[in-house]
Amino acid sequence: MVLRMNGLQPSQVTAPEKIAATELSTRSFSPVDVSDMSSTGSAGSGVRVLHIDAVRQTTTAVGASVDFQTFTLPGGTLSVDGDSVDIEISGQLVTSATSASVHVRTWFGATPIGGALAVGNIGSHFFIVRATVTRVNANLQYSGGIEGLGGSASAISQPIVFGITPHQSDPVENLANPVIIKARGDVNSGTGGAVHVDRLIVKKVSV
């Protein structure tokens, strides 16, 4: 018996792994041009990656706030009430002395919208902060998300969960203007502290 798929001989059917390899080979992970955000769906609906920065940035300076990965959201990107951006930062917090205190935050314009804090001699551990900022109107947004700290960097196969915490805030950016999205780190006190931010990812979610 000869099996056919949509009238094709078996030799004419492309294996799924070959299709996947072909698709991956043509993908680009460079920041996306957001000058025309209406090309996804009939009314601009869908999810689109606006920015990826995966180059590690670090600070060990005590008492100084340091801006890491930054992305400027073009004015007018969130043009419809309900339009949103998903923002994610991740990396490692290091406190190798009991007196060390380190902190990382995500900012949407002038408002911190989430962060992770490590205090004491916990070593090096992973953090992730995720937030979704939704347009309520042209001058008001709602932000909600989660932040987590845990998983020893030296024992990734058996992570230690320190906790996952929800957060919310209400930025008041004028969305007709550009808005700066960034990760900011602080080594608040002590010695042996460091903040490593490994990536910033920004996606637009359209209604």
Calculate the CA dihedral of residues 174, 171, 91, 37 and round it to 10 degrees.
Answer: -40
Mean pLDDT of successive 10-residue stretches along the chain, which has 207 residues: 36 40 38 40 72 95 92 97 97 83 93 87 84 97 90 50 79 98 90 90 92
Per-residue pLDDT, 44: 57
pTM of structure: 0.74
Cα separation, 106 vs 199, in Å, equals 12
Residue with tokens 């205190």: 101
What's the 3-state SS for 143-175?
Answer: EEEEEEEEEECCCCCCCCEEEEEEEEECCCCCC
Per-residue pLDDT, 13: 38
Tell me the residue length of the chain: 207
Cα separation, 57 vs 183, in Å, equals 10
DSSP letter for each residue of 28-61: --SPPP-S-TT-SSTTS-EEEEEEEE---EEE--
Residue with tokens 């920004």: 202
